[in-house]
C-alpha cells in the first residue's frame, strides 16, 4: 500500500526562519532540486540534527523523512525545509524495518534513493559526483519540472508530470545504460542528449507571456 505524507505541521511558522537560515551550506554544490535522485532520512527525535542534514541534500529532487512518532520538533523542521514526512508504525513482530517499509511504501519519484542518517552530512564533493554521474537529459528535465511546477495550481499536477517523466525515462536508452554500468561497475556513458532527447511531459503546456 502506498503511504501518504503527513499534513503540514501547525508548528511550521514558528520554526521556518530557523530552518531556512543559510539554507545551502558553503561549498560548490549542485543547484537546489537539480539532481534527479531521492534522499531518505529515517528519524526519531532528531530536532538537533535534521535541519543540517537536509541542508546538505537540497540538491536532490525529492527529500523524504520517515518519522517514528517524534515528540520534539523534528517534523515541522523537516517540512519547513521542504521534505515530505511519512509516519512509520512499529509492529509487534518487528518487521518491516523502517528503511524497508519506506523503500516499499513511499511513492518515490526517482529510480535512485540515497539513504542518509540524520547525523550525517553529505559533502559537496559527493553531491557533485552524484550530479555528474546523472544522465544529462534527466537533470535538464528535473530543472524544467522544478521551474514549471513551482506555480502549479495543485500538487496532483506535479505528481502527474513526475509519473509521466518516470514512465518515459524508465524506458530510455539512458536507463538501460545506467543499469548496465551499475552491474558492470563502470562509469555510465549516457547516450541521450538534451538537444533531441528531452521528452514532452507537459501536454498542452503554453508558455506564459513575458512582460
Model confidence at 109: pLDDT above 80:
yes
Supply the pLDDT for residue 211: 60
Question: Domain map of the chain by residue range?
Answer: 12-132, 136-197
Model confidence at 210: pLDDT above 60:
no
In the structure, what pLDDT confidence band is assigned to residue 209 with cuts at 50, 70 and 90?
low
CATH class of the structural domain 136-197? mainly alpha
Supply the pLDDT for residue 153: 79
Supply the pLDDT for residue 50: 96
* CATH number of this structure's domain 12-132: 3.90.550.10
Cα three-residue angle 184-188-192, rounded to 5 degrees:
135
Summarize pLDDT for 122-174 with one digit per residue, the tens: 999 999 888 877 788 887 787 778 777 777 778 788 888 888 888 888 898 98
In which region does residue 33 sit, left (phi positive, over 0), alpha (psi from -120 to 50) or beta (all else)?
Answer: left
Look at the alpha carbons of 68, 74, 76, 82 in this order and tell me if their dihedral is positive or negative.
negative
Q: Are strands 35-43 and 113-115 parallel, antiparallel or unpaired?
A: parallel
For residue 59, the tally of other CB atoms under 10 A from its CB is: 21
In the structure, what pLDDT confidence band is assigned to residue 178 with cuts at 50, 70 and 90?
confident
Asked whether the beta carbons of 168 and 145 are under 8 A apart, the reply is: no
In the structure, what pLDDT confidence band is assigned to residue 43 with cuts at 50, 70 and 90?
very high
Amino acid at each position: 500500500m502506498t503511504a501518504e505524507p503527513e499534513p503540514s505541521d501547525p508548528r511550521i511558522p514558528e520554526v521556518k526562519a530557523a530552518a531556512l537560515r543559510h539554507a545551502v551550506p558553503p561549498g560548490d554544490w549542485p543547484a537546489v532540486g537539480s539532481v534527479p535522485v531521492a534522499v531518505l532520512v529515517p528519524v526519531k527525535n532528531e530536532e538537533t540534527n535534521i535541519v543540517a542534514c537536509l541542508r546538505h541534500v537540497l540538491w536532490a529532487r525529492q527529500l523524504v523523512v520517515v518519522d517514528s512518532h517524534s515528540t520534539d520538533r523534528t517534523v515541522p523542521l523537516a517540512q519547513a525545509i521542504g521534505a515530505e514526512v511519512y509516519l512509520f508504525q512499529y509492529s509487534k513482530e518487528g518487521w518491516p524495518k523502517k528503511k524497508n517499509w519506506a523503500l516499499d511504501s513511499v511513492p518515490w519519484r526517482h529510480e535512485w534513493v540515497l539513504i542518509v542518517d540524520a547525523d550525517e552530512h553529505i559533502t559537496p564533493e559527493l553531491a557533485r559526483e552524484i550530479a555528474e554521474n546523472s544522465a544529462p537529459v534527466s537533470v535538464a528535465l528535473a530543472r524544467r519540472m522544478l521551474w514549471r511546477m513551482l506555480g502549479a495550481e495543485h500538487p496532483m499536477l506535479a505528481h502527474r508530470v513526475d509519473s509521466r517523466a518516470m514512465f518515459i525515462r524508465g524506458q530510455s536508452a539512458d536507463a538501460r545504460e545506467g543499469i548496465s554500468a551499475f552491474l558492470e561497475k563502470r562509469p555510465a556513458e549516457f547516450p541521450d542528449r538534451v538537444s533531441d532527447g528531452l521528452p514532452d511531459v507537459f501536454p498542452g503546456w503554453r508558455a506564459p507571456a513575458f512582460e
